[in-house]
Amino acid sequence: MKKPMKVVVTGAAGQIGYSLLFRICAGEVFGKDQPINLWLLERNNETSIKAVRGVMMELDDCAFPLLASLNSTSDPVECFEGADVAFLVGARPRSKDMQRKDLIEANARIFIEQGKAIDQSSNKNIKVLVVGNPCNTNAYIARRCAPSINPRNFTAMMRLDHNRALTQLAQKYDCAVDEITDLVVWGNHGNTMYPDLNQTKIGEKKVADTLDATWYTDNFTPTVAKRGSAIIEARGHSSAASAANAAIDHVRDWVLGSNDQWVTMAVPSDGSYGVPEGLVFGFPCICKDGDYQIVQGLQLTEEQKAGIARNIVALEEERKIVDELIG
């Protein structure tokens, strides 16, 4: 049996946490031969502490053979000590009348604190996935507050947007999702995101050769970009099981590889495709040997350049707000 790895999940008593934890412990992320020491971070108040205790009782009751140990705390430094992987899910949800700027500021405090704790106590090779919104900018904040960790190790979740785009396309073309390759959602997990089918293939056929431009503009793109709101409208709660599933896909592929397939990951830009260095941006990535590479060498059309540019503007605006807060 392998040595257990330490995995942290924040916001463990929330909706996504409830859909995520049991699948991690069942071996769906790190493999069926990888035991884990699971640490849960929750807020220090009676309701959260009680709720996380209930989740831990259920985890115990599953008798997962891979769950070597289970702990919870409200102290980020204790939680991240020696951590190998962290799912940063916990964040303040956007309330009805809250502006995006207010949400950024409220959540910045959480990710400044957690970034500093990661810097102070985690394994220096920790892999971090930020799910809590605004996830791209929260990952940027945590990365800036953890200067001793390789910036590449701070990523944000755009895999849900990627998966949503896959299914919309598969339904339109009446094909299986795994016949689709080379699809990406560039940019920010927000309204400006750019689902791009220019390179996409179904089997050997290029989608661009038969694409219905009206469907792409009026149906596909808004459906993918506004899916979160449509789910809140229908379900009365935001996406949870599909978000947990995307978090599992993201980290599993990062750790175990994406089999030479493109996956969308929001990662700190290295300047690829003109995206300013450091912005945490959705790129097409290929994962191998526990690492990811941004797909290089794409010849971008004017439409693609414009799709990327609008996301740079959106993320630069957010970066400006948080740079002032981080100092």
As a 3-state breakdown, the chain gives helix, strand, coil percent values, each rounded to 5, of: 45, 20, 35
d(CA 2, CA 34): 6
DSSP-derived secondary structure for 229-291: HHHHHHHSS---HHHHHHHHHHHHHHHH--TT--EEEEEE--SGGGPPTT-EEEEEEEEETTE
Nearest to 134 by CA among 314, 9, 306: 314
Contact between 128 and ligand NAX (CB under 6 A)?
no
Q: How far is the CB of 206 from ligand NAX (least distance, A)?
A: 28
Binding ligand NAX by CB under 6 A: which of 16, 104, 139, 224?
16
Q: Is 243 in the site for ligand NAX (CB under 6 A)?
A: yes
89 lies in the site for ligand NAX, by CB under 6 A: yes
Q: Is 189 a catalytic residue?
A: yes
Cα 43 from Cα 62, distance rounded (Å): 24
Q: Which is nearer to ligand NAX, 43 or 172 (CB)?
A: 43
For residues 278 and 288, the answer to whether their CB atoms sit within 8 Å is no
8 A C-beta contact, residue 214 and residue 220: no
- Shortest distance in whole angstroms from residue 49 CB to ligand NAX: 10
**Cis preceding-peptide flag for 4 (omega within 30 of 0):** no
**Binding flag, residue 108, ligand NAX (CB under 6 A):** no
Contact between 142 and ligand NAX per CB under 6 A: no
Taking the complex as a whole, the smallest distance from the CB of residue 88 to ligand NAX amounts, in Å, to: 9
Here's the x/- map for ligand NAX, 176-195, by CB under 6 A: it reads as -------------x------
Among 5, 6, 9, 14, binds ligand NAX (CB under 6 A): 14
Q: How far is the CB of 79 from ligand NAX (least distance, A)?
A: 9
Which of 8, 91, 248, 286 lies at the binding interface for ligand NAX (CB under 6 A)? 91
245 binds ligand NAX (CB under 6 A): no
Interaction residues for ligand NAX, span 143-172 (CB under 6 A): 157, 160
Residue 81 found at the interface with ligand NAX (CB under 6 A): no
Instruction: For the CB of residue 321, give the shortest distance to ligand NAX in the complex, in Å.
Output: 17
> In the numeric block, which tokens belong to residue 71?
């702990």
Of the candidates 59, 66, 110, 112, which one interacts with ligand NAX according to CB under 6 A?
A: 110
Whole-Å CA distances, 241 to 21, 176, 207: 11, 21, 29
Q: In the bound complex, what is the minimum distance in angstroms from residue 307's beta carbon to ligand NAX?
A: 18
Nearest residue (beta carbon) to ligand NAX:
14
> Among 162, 189, 237, 250, which one carries the catalytic annotation?
189
Does 41 participate in binding ligand NAX (rule CB under 6 A)? yes
* Choice between 202 and 285, CB closer to ligand NAX: 285
Using CB under 6 A, pick the residue from 23, 43, 100, 201 that binds ligand NAX.
Answer: 43
Element (H, E) at 34: none
Q: Give the tokens for residue 78.
A: 């204790």
The β-bridge relationship of strands 127-130 and 154-156 is parallel
- Checking 55-59 for CB contacts under 8 A at 24+ apart, the result is 55/12, 55/13, 55/17, 55/18, 55/21, 58/22, 59/21, 59/22, 59/25
Q: Please, what is the minimum distance in Å from the beta carbon of residue 156 to ligand NAX?
A: 7
Footprint on residues 261-300 left by ligand NAX (CB under 6 A): none
Positions in the binding site for ligand NAX (CB under 6 A): 10-11, 13-17, 41-43, 48, 89-93, 110, 131-133, 135, 157, 160, 189, 228, 238-240, 243
- Which residues are tagged catalytic? 189
